[in-house]
Chain A
Amino acid sequence: MSQSLFYLIAFLSIFFSLMVIFTKNPVHSVLYLIITFFTFTIHYILLNAQFLAIVNFIVYMGAIMVLFLFVLMLLNLNKDTEPAKSNLLKMAGVVAGMCLLVTLVGSVKALNVSNPVVLTNPGLGLVKNLGKVLFNEFLLPFEISSLLLLSAMVGAVLLAKKEA
């Protein structure tokens, strides 16, 4: 049952991510992206990673995508205001996209995904275990990443102040 659920959700993820790319309207695109993130949340729950699931839900769906939607609504993009891209730019986009595809396929192939992924420690995603692992084994990377976020925040504030 869990496996068929996985295939259903995986299909929905891919379907909605394709919809993100193929819809013309940027606001629709963002809405499809929100649904895509929601399917990711279900994937995390299937992996028994409850904390990651709910954080993905709050941060990506609840905060970042609201900001995306906010900016798009403010800009109110449509076909008339969007500048037409030159053919050279389009070609560059195609080449870059193909390069990314090749890299991704190569790395996935190197992973040997034909072996089914078995969770070595299925309880790891629960919030208690995750907290213990984060603050014992990975304390230094955790603190450094928080510093990184802080510096990004200070940088953003500085940029905003400069304009005013």
Chain B
Amino acid sequence: MEITFVIEKFVFITVIFGLSLLVAMYSTLAERKIAAFLQDRVGPNRAGPGGMFQPLADGVKMFLKEEIIPTQSNKFLFIAGPSLAILTACIGSAVIPWGQDIQLFGKTIALQATDINVGILYIFGVVSLGVYGIMIGGWASNNKFSLMGAIRAASQNISYEIPMGLSIIALLLVTNSLSLKDIAEQQHGFQWNVFYQPLGFLIFLVCAFAETNRTPFDLPECETELVGGYHTEYSSMKLGFFLFAEYINMFVSSAVMATLYFGGYNYPGMDYMNSLLGPTFGPLLGMAVLFLKIFAFIFFFMWVRWTIPRFRYDQLMNLGWKILIPLAIANIVLTGLVTALVNGF
């Protein structure tokens, strides 16, 4: 392995890591601004112009708050919980292709941390690992409400992983590849997968809401029933990590949805723009388009949060097991049939 390759990857990963943290940071502000807009309020507007420095102020507040570790808790696991939550949130973005190969300083650089040939499954694995942070944190707190929140999170995540996996299988029947780079390249121009897999996308979207514990599926932290859910006992930056992990998860799942179903960095007329802008700025524009799509998804996440109330627990389970799973299976059968008919068996 050449040293330049290692440096190149290191710089790229650092940039992506910083970008996801930045987006997550400003998502907290966006969330409050959008909530304010939907409820006809002003929202945070004191720190900096239009409240621009509010996330920094929140961060400083989180760092400076008193750190409390309950005496009856399991100290190691109590700290491991939020660390694991933020770790699994951050490693998901490793396989996402952020753009076409770019010409920079006379070198061709792939805008992807790594292109493993089981990319989708990697994301799926990271998602399924994400619940451990919440479970361990909730259990280690030694608090009934935290434990209830942790158990809810576990059963919810397991239930919604199944339709998510099934909707991915239907998508794979269309793409014939597990590599996210291939999938993104196949959707060149306007051949986005969402036109071939509308039902699959809908199921994936609902599951993404459930896996990120966003409203209407935020039962693990349901404050009307469980005080604060799994993070009841947490304070200071450990609480911050749990909250921050949610926003990073939202960013990564938006990126995954944009890549899998909405063409990733592809947009209509990209060939013309690429020939116009050249091999450096063309891919950059593609990356900007991808980020636009991601922001649209993040806005959608927030829009839903401030519009739809929380599910009841049995409704959540009914939706997952009795509606989404049969729908996802029907989607697989339908996709398989159509694929077989088109290919002439």
Chain A residues near B (Cβ < 8 Å): 27, 31, 34, 50-51, 54-55, 57-58, 61-63, 66-67, 69-70, 73-74, 76, 126-128
What does the 1/0 interface line of B114-139 toward A look like (CB < 8 Å)?
00111001101101110110011001
Minimal beta-carbon separation of A45 from chain B (angstroms): 10
Interface of B is mostly: helix
Question: Chain B residues near A127 (CB, 8 Å)?
Answer: 117-118, 178
Q: Is the CB of B128 within 8 A of A58?
A: yes
Question: Chain B residues near A67 (CB, 8 Å)?
Answer: 158
Minimal beta-carbon separation of B320 from chain A (angstroms): 15
Q: Is the CB of A69 within 8 A of B117?
A: no
Q: Is the CB of A62 within 8 A of B154?
A: no
Q: Which residue of A lies closest to B179 (CB)?
A: A127
| Interface presence of B150 (CB below 8 A) | yes
Report the separation of the CA atoms of residues A39 and B124 in the bound assembly, to the nearest whole angstrom.
Answer: 19
| Interface presence of B147 (CB below 8 A) | yes
Q: Is the CB of B129 within 8 A of A73?
A: no
Question: Chain A residues near B245 (CB, 8 Å)?
Answer: none
Across the interface, A69 reaches (CB within 8 A) one of B116, B121, B154, namely B154
Q: Which residue of A lies closest to B140 (CB)?
A: A27
Across the interface, A54 reaches (CB within 8 A) one of B125, B127, B155, namely B125
Q: Which residue of A lies closest to B176 (CB)?
A: A128
| Interface presence of B161 (CB below 8 A) | yes
Q: Assuming the A-B contacts A62-B129, A63-B161, A67-B158, are A73 and B118 also in contact, with contact meaning beta carbons closer than 8 angstroms in the complex?
A: no
Minimal beta-carbon separation of B316 from chain A (angstroms): 16
Minimal beta-carbon separation of A157 from chain B (angstroms): 11
Report the separation of the CA atoms of residues A31 and B122 in the bound assembly, to the nearest whole angstrom.
Answer: 21
Q: Assuming the A-B contacts A34-B132, A54-B118, A127-B118, are A73 and B125 also in contact, with contact meaning beta carbons closer than 8 angstroms in the complex?
A: no
Q: Is the CB of B139 within 8 A of A63?
A: no
| Interface presence of B30 (CB below 8 A) | no
Across the interface, B122 reaches (CB within 8 A) one of A54, A61, A66, A70, namely A54
Question: Chain B residues near A73 (CB, 8 Å)?
Answer: 135, 139, 147, 150-151, 154
Minimal beta-carbon separation of A149 from chain B (angstroms): 14
Q: Is the CB of B147 within 8 A of A61?
A: no
Across the interface, B154 reaches (CB within 8 A) one of A51, A54, A61, A66, namely A66
Nearest 5 CB-CB pairings of A with B:
A62-B128, A57-B125, A54-B121, A58-B125, A70-B154
| Interface presence of B157 (CB below 8 A) | yes
Report the separation of the CA atoms of residues A73 and B142 in the bound assembly, to the nearest whole angstrom.
Answer: 11
Report the separation of the CA atoms of residues A127 and B120 in the bound assembly, to the nearest whole angstrom.
Answer: 12
Question: Chain A residues near B158 (CB, 8 Å)?
Answer: 63, 66-67, 70
Question: Chain B residues near A55 (CB, 8 Å)?
Answer: 121
**Within residues 158 to 204 of chain B, which ones have a CB less than 8 A from any CB in chain A?**
158, 161, 178
Q: Which residue of A lies closest to B178 (CB)?
A: A127
Minimal beta-carbon separation of A151 from chain B (angstroms): 18
Q: Assuming the A-B contacts A66-B158, A67-B158, are A50 and B118 also in contact, with contact meaning beta carbons closer than 8 angstroms in the complex?
A: yes
Minimal beta-carbon separation of B264 from chain A (angstroms): 21
Q: Which residue of B lies closest to A69 (CB)?
A: B135
Minimal beta-carbon separation of A161 from chain B (angstroms): 14
Across the interface, A66 reaches (CB within 8 A) one of B118, B139, B157, namely B157
Minimal beta-carbon separation of A55 from chain B (angstroms): 7
Question: Chain A residues near B157 (CB, 8 Å)?
Answer: 66
Q: Is the CB of B135 within 8 A of A50?
A: no
Minimal beta-carbon separation of A86 from chain B (angstroms): 31
Q: Assuming the A-B contacts A58-B125, A63-B158, A67-B158, are A50 and B139 also in contact, with contact meaning beta carbons closer than 8 angstroms in the complex?
A: no
8 new A-B contacts, CB < 8 A, other than A61-B125, A62-B125, A62-B161, are: A57-B125, A62-B127, A62-B128, A67-B158, A70-B135, A126-B117, A127-B117, A127-B178
